[in-house]
Structure formats: C-alpha cells, structure tokens
Copies of this chain bind each other. A is one copy, B any other.
Amino acid sequence: MWQPANPLYLHPNPLFSFTALYLSHTMSTETPTRNRVNFATPRSFGATMKSHLKETFFPDDPFRQFRNEKSGLKKPLQYFIPIFEWLPNYSLRLFKFDLLSGITIASLAIPQGISYAKLANLPPIIGLYSSFVPPLIYAVFGNSKHLAVGTVAACSLLIANTIGEEVSHKDDPTLYLHLVFTATFFTGIFQTLLGLLRLGILVDFLSHPTITGFMGGTATLICLQQLKGIFGLKHFTTKTDVVSVLHAVFQNRDERKKRPNLFWVSAIAPMVVVIVGCLFAYFAHADKHGIQIVGHLSRGLNPLSIKHLNFDSQYIPVTLKAGLITGLIALAEGVAIGRSFAIMKNEQVDGNKEMIAFGLMNIVGSFTSCYLTTGPFSKTAVNFNAGCRTAMSNVVMAICMMLTLLLLAPLFSYTPLVALSAIIMSAMLGLIDYQEIYHLFKVDKFDFLICMAGFLGVAFISMDHGLMMSIGLALVRTLLYAARPATCKLGKVQDSCVYRDTEQYPGSTSVNGVLALQLGSPVYFANSNYIRERILRWIQEEEDISNAKESVVEHVLLDLSGVTSTDTTGIETLIEISKMLQAKSIKLSIVNPRLCVMEKMIRSHFVDKIGKESIFLCIEDAIEASLFSEKRQV
C-alpha cells in the first residue's frame, strides 16, 4: 500500500516530500530530489519570429481550410470574395427582408447624399452617384451583413476643409471636384493596403464600451440635430404635423415590438412617409410656404471620372493628406459600426477583409464620379432595424439609386426634409443602450468611463474626437495595466496543498522565513521600476508584521508562471533585484519561468548568474529547497 508498484508513485511527489520534511524536521543533509526545469537551448530567432508574426497577423490561421484541398479554388475564392459564400445559399425568404431594407436605405440615401455632398462643397448629384457604384462593390467584397454603404458627414466636412485650403470650390469647381476624386482614390489605396498588410489588429482596439458609447453619442447627436431642424420649422407649418409624423413613427415602433407579423408596416413606414410627404409637398406647393424640400435633381448615371484623377505634383500633398486622414476616420467609423452590429447578432467581422472591401469600393468609386464612402452610422442603423439579412440590401439600394438616377430623380425633389428627420430619429432612439451602459457601470467602472467618454465626446465635441477620446482612454488603461501588473503574496490554502493569493484566500499560511510572491505579466520596461519597488515593499511589510527575529525573510521566491513575456529591461530588473536581495542576505529563487522568459534569461546569462539550482519548476520544490538550506545553516 505504502509504495505501490505503479511507477508514478515512485516519483517523489513534491507536496508529499515537502510536507514530510517540513513536519518531521529531520536534520538530513541530502539535497531533496526535485522536478527538472528544462534548460534546453533557446529556439532560433527565425522560429520565434515566425511564431510571433503568425500570432500577430494570422491568429485565425485563415489558410488552414485550403491546405487539405487539392487544386480547389472554391474555398479560397469564397474566403477572399465573400459574395461567393452567401450568394449560392441565398433564398427568396432572405430577399424579402433585403428588398425591404434596401428600399428603406435607398430612401435615406437620397437626402443624405445630397446634404453631405453640400457639406463637402460638391454638386448634389455626386452624393447620389456615391450611393450607386460603391454599394455594389461592397456587396461583392464586404464582410458585414448589416453595413449600408454611403457618405458620412464628418468626412465630407473634413474633405471640404482640407482640399479647400489649396483650391476654392467657388473659383475653380472643376479642379476642386477632380481633387476630391483624387483624394478618394488615395483613400482607397490606403485602406486596401492596411487590409492587405493584415493591420486589422487595429480594429481590436475598438472595445465594446467604446462602441456602446460611440453609438449612443452619435444617436444623441443626430437626434438633437434632427430636433433642431424640426423645431426650426414650427413657424412655417402647424405643430400638429410634426407631432403626428413622430407619433406615427413611434406607434409603428411599438407595434413592431408587440406583433412581429406587422413588421412590414413599420419597415415600409419611412418610404410611405416619404411618398406621402412628396405628394403633399407637390400638391400643396409646400416649398412656396417655407417647407424645405430636397430640390431639383437631374437624370443620368455616373459618368466616368478615372481620366479626371489629378496627380499634379502641386496638389499631391493636399490630396494625399485629405485621402489619408479621411480614410482613417472612415475606416474607424465603418469598421466600428459593422462590428457593433455584428456583436448584437453574435457574429464576427474580419477587420482585414473589411478594410480591403472599403478600399476597393473607394478606388472604383473614384473612377466613377463618387467621393469617399464608408458604413455610415445612421444608414447602417436603419438597414439593421429594417431587418436586412445580407449585403444584398446594398445591391437593392444600388438598383433603387440607379432607377432614381435614370427615371425618378425629379419626383424625389419634392421630399420634405422634415419627413426624413422623423425617419432618422425613429431609427436613432433605439440605439442608445441604457442597459449596457448600466451593466458597464456595475461590472467595471473604467469601462464605464471609456463608454461615457465616447458618448459625451461624440455628442458634445465631434464624432471623431469622441471616438479618439474613448480609444485613447482604453489605450491608457492597457498601458496602465502594463505599468502596474498585480503582484501577490502566496500562502498555502487552508486544508489544501496548493499555494494561492493570501488576500483572495484568507487563512492561507506562509512558511516562516520564506516570502513567495507571484508576479503579474509581463515584466517589462514599463513596470520594471514598479516591480522592483513593490518587491522591496513586500519584504518591508513582511518585516513590519512581526518583530520576532525568526520571521525575518531569508528566501524570496518569485513565481513567474503568469509572466508570458519579458524584455531586456525586465531581465535587468531581475538581476538588480537579485543583487539588492544579496545585499540584504536574502536568497532569490525563480519559479517556473515560461518559454519566452527562459529564452531571454539564458541569452542574457541571468541563469548563469543566479545559478540553475535557484530555478524551480514549481513553488513546492522551491519552498522545500528553501527549508532544506535553512536547516543546513542551523
């Protein structure tokens, strides 16, 4: 019984042997057997590098699925061009949803396109062109099911400001227009490159709290803007009209929640509102009574603009600058939005593929009289609420836009702007996620702060500033984590043999003279000062607790199990700590350094300096050895 035949029992279980040693206090001078640490040669630079690059840029191992297939082009094609994946399984049932949402966003695309084009100091028709070609490209290459392609307010303004510095749109509207196309071309190239270089890692830094705050703030902002527009009209029209439109919209929203079968009613409502508004405006000559309408629109599809791209060295700096800045903001907005709606549906968006889709859509757009497009918040929200299922809704929108451009443009001229305001507002109000914000407040105060920075920043400063503030705070949090990794003192948990945080497991006991500390991760330049000072403080605190001479620290064990990475400053800090402890006659032992850390310890000769006998595989071995050496001194 005591020593069964099984070989596993023959091995000296460290827990057992430690306990035996500790309790019996035998004065044996034999070194206890212990688990062997692997001091094998470090991996080659090439191997480490390859592993790091793979984890950084290809963590999803996207090409695994092609590896086993012989000469099959279907899978890679599906991977790179998502339309081949979803189109074969596309059904009439799905199309019903996409048709509805496509028509809905098309009805939004007209007034949005016109007003944003005006913000960018471009002819209104350019805004309509921009909702025809880019959505078709996105439908082929895009990754998100809910994203609706269109122009955005922030970038439109930014383009006007940047290009306007060099060329006035009033003095030379043709040159100005061509420079905008050129900037859009640069945006496309830049976005495609980011995607090809697998810099989708950038998207990982858009956290859920950031997106919640950004969405809530943008919804608030747009609602306030629309309200301003609506109240601006109260002198021209009867108040009842506004209220009735709002009331109708809200009633539809409620109905949708209560009776899902009546979804058609609420989804078609915006279009109905637009048509009713048009008819009303047309027959009542509303424009003559002060009600603002969209205004004259001429017929015809996008003319080619590839020959108008202007690469004159005089204008390259300004077009390049406009292209890069708006490209980045558009990407941040578009990817954040695509991602946020994907999260709602528990789906995933591949940031890299999304960047390539945006890039291609802007390159082709710049060839066909379009300016910068991305996934605007309002349009995507309407698309999502209208029940879109795939990128087909973008195709429907594009076809609607084509028909509008060819035939109906003059009819839509009569749409009253107030009707559009009501539609947008009804979409926005559902997107302020109070519950999520409360959840953040309850679980993690810093996340709440990140969220509110985005919310208030977007609502009261600007969309891009709000987004940047929120991302900035999230990065500060990441850096703070790196600068102040948690350390804890380990003790043996009551009625157990495992060593855990004494704060988390009160009642856990430590061994006299041995201070076991678990370091957080990583040990880096950003926290090396902190870790050194913190370890000194642990020793100091230990000595403060008891004045009895026997409890003074004789051994410090640093458990590096949780330290997955280090750098030269980190290793130097360990060397410094070992020197400092030596000066206090305290022996330092290292427990369970992981692969990356061990490699650097060997390369920097730390292992030689501290001695292989001071590095242990587990905390129990280290404590056993400490006690053993204490006894030898007695």
Task: For the complex formed, measure the closest distance between the CB of A270 and the CB atoms of chain B, giving whole angstroms.
Answer: 32
B540 touches A497 (CB 8 A): no
Among A257-265, A365-373, A477-485, the one that faces the other chain is A477-485
A479 touches B481 (CB 8 A): no
> Bound complex: CA of A568 vs CA of B525, how far in Å?
27
B1 touches A617 (CB 8 A): no
Residues 527 to 564 of chain A near chain B (Cβ within 8 Å)? 527-530, 533-534, 537, 540, 561-564
A484-B55, A567-B447 known; A521 vs B524 contact (CB < 8 Å): no
Q: How many copies does the complex hold?
A: 2
B15, B486, B529: the one contacting A204 at CB < 8 Å is B529
Task: For the complex formed, measure the closest distance between the CB of A214 and the CB atoms of chain B, giving whole angstroms.
Answer: 13
A204-B527, A568-B447 known; A537 vs B485 contact (CB < 8 Å): no
A6-B23, A19-B8, A440-B568 known; A482 vs B482 contact (CB < 8 Å): yes
B55 touches A594 (CB 8 A): no
A501-B595, A562-B562 known; A526 vs B205 contact (CB < 8 Å): yes
B6 touches A443 (CB 8 A): no
B55, B443, B520, B521: the one contacting A603 at CB < 8 Å is B443
> Bound complex: CA of A442 vs CA of B568, how far in Å?
10
B481 touches A533 (CB 8 A): no
A474 touches B207 (CB 8 A): no
A66 CB within 8 Å of chain B: no
> Bound complex: CA of A151 vs CA of B38, how far in Å?
53
> Bound complex: CA of A204 vs CA of B526, how far in Å?
5
Residues of B contacting A572 with CB < 8 Å?
A: 208
A520 touches B23 (CB 8 A): no
Chain A residue total in the interface (Cβ 8 A): 100
B604 touches A564 (CB 8 A): no
Among A57-65, A247-255, A412-420, the one that faces the other chain is A57-65
Q: Which residue from chain B places its CB closest to the CB of A530 in the assembled complex?
A: B59
A603 touches B442 (CB 8 A): yes
> Bound complex: CA of A94 vs CA of B618, how far in Å?
48
A498-B35, A500-B617 known; A525 vs B207 contact (CB < 8 Å): yes
B440 touches A520 (CB 8 A): no
> Bound complex: CA of A504 vs CA of B596, how far in Å?
9
Task: For the complex formed, measure the closest distance between the CB of A619 and the CB atoms of chain B, giving whole angstroms.
Answer: 10
A431 CB within 8 Å of chain B: no
A29 CB within 8 Å of chain B: no
B11, B493, B564, B595: the one contacting A485 at CB < 8 Å is B564
A445-B45, A505-B38, A569-B208 known; A478 vs B479 contact (CB < 8 Å): yes
Residues of B contacting A475 with CB < 8 Å?
A: 479
A209 touches B1 (CB 8 A): no
B19, B23, B503, B596: the one contacting A486 at CB < 8 Å is B596
Interface string of A21-59 (1 = CB under 8 A from B): 001000000000001101000000100010010011001
B482 touches A59 (CB 8 A): no
B521, B537, B596: the one contacting A521 at CB < 8 Å is B521
A452 CB within 8 Å of chain B: no
B8, B35, B346, B501: the one contacting A576 at CB < 8 Å is B346
B15, B45, B346: the one contacting A13 at CB < 8 Å is B15
Interface string of A560-601 (1 = CB under 8 A from B): 011111011101100010010000000000001011101010
B496 touches A604 (CB 8 A): no
> Bound complex: CA of A486 vs CA of B594, how far in Å?
10
| New contact pairs (11) apart from A443-B600, A504-B594, CB-CB < 8 Å | A6-B23, A8-B19, A13-B13, A61-B540, A204-B526, A204-B528, A205-B525, A207-B567, A208-B525, A446-B567, A486-B564
A-B contact pairs, 11 of them (CB 8 A): A1-B2, A38-B505, A52-B484, A207-B567, A443-B568, A443-B603, A478-B482, A479-B479, A481-B565, A498-B617, A562-B564
